[in-house]
Amino acid sequence: MSGPSVIELRAVAQPHSTMERNSGEHWAGALYMRRLSIYVTWALARTPISPNQVTGLMILFGLLAGVVLALPGLWAAVAAAVLIQIYLLLDCSDGELARWTHRTSITGVYLDRVGHYFAEAALLIGLGFRASETLPDWYTVLGFAAALGAILIKSETDLVDVARARSGLVATTEAAAEHFRSRRLGAARKIVAALRFHRVIQAVELSIIAVLAALWDAIAGGQTATQVLTIACVVFAVLQTVLHLVSILASRRLD
């Protein structure tokens, strides 16, 4: 089955509006995954698979990563990290395929967002089970608590557009997120954002840190590093839930 060349595909599937966006593009996508995903998309464009089916595979790999991370041992953590990389790869390819085939849809956007919710929640729950010495114990509870925090943070972001739509307004812009009613709050937000602690509970970063924690545990014995990571995820999730809400209310996103 004939199809586009990689150059032709890249021109349509990876427009500047996608590659240069600040908040919508993960750093790993910009750094290396977009360079790989275009070749996967090139192969997918020669098959009958739909963009939404690719998104479904993305969700599946995200959920599997959480299940695998719950298993003991270093290699389980490594496997979970690999699954998250495949999840990220498919997350890039589904949109690229949709743009090339002109099959972008509201359903696709919705499934993509749901997939991000599922993957991060599954990974944090898996981490909680991994940190538990008996099932269930407090680390299991902490894993679920961190997952709830991750879901709330994403909900806070998505509900901005829900609120605007119900008020008859268009979706917010990246520029609105950078403009604050108070200069002091804007400066404080930049300082907090520069710390990047919120990334600890995001799927790609968490999967990598979980491998490092598992390596430490394998060398030192026990589960101390994984347990500390689980506690840190809860703390960061709570902090980010509050700070993100304040940031939204103080910005121009709801104007």
DSSP string of 198-216? GGGGSHHHHHHHHHHHHHH
136: cis peptide before it, omega within 30°? yes
What is the pLDDT at residue 245? 92
Side-chain-facing half-sphere of 75: CA atoms under 13 Å: 0
Contact 87, 144 (CB under 8 A): no
What is the pLDDT at residue 250? 87
- Whole-angstrom distance, CA of residue 122 vs CA of residue 132: 16
Six token digits for residue 242: 């509050």
Partnered with residue 18 across adjacent β-strands are none
- The domain ranges of the chain are 6-250
What is the pLDDT at residue 2? 64
What is the pLDDT at residue 17? 72
**pLDDT beneath 50, residues of the chain:** none
The reply to whether the predicted model has a pTM over 0.85 is yes
- Whole-angstrom distance, CA of residue 226 vs CA of residue 224: 6
- Whole-angstrom distance, CA of residue 91 vs CA of residue 209: 21
Tell me the pLDDT tens digit for each residue of 43-64: 999 999 999 999 999 999 999 9
Tell me the pLDDT tens digit for each residue of 136-182: 899 999 999 999 999 999 999 999 999 999 998 888 877 777 777 77
What is the pLDDT at residue 26? 76
Q: What are the b/e assignments for 127-136, b being 16+ CB within 10 Å?
A: bbbbbbeeee
Instruction: Please tell me the total number of residues recorded for the chain in this structure.
Output: 255
What is the pLDDT at residue 20? 65
Residue 204 sits at the vertex; the CA angle it makes with 101 and 36, to the nearest 5 degrees, is: 40
Contact 61, 87 (CB under 8 A): yes
Tell me the three-class secondary structure of 154-170, residue by residue: HHHHHHHHHHHHHCCCC
CB atoms within 10 A of CB 69: 30
Contact 124, 200 (CB under 8 A): no
CATH of domain 6-250: 1.20.120.1760
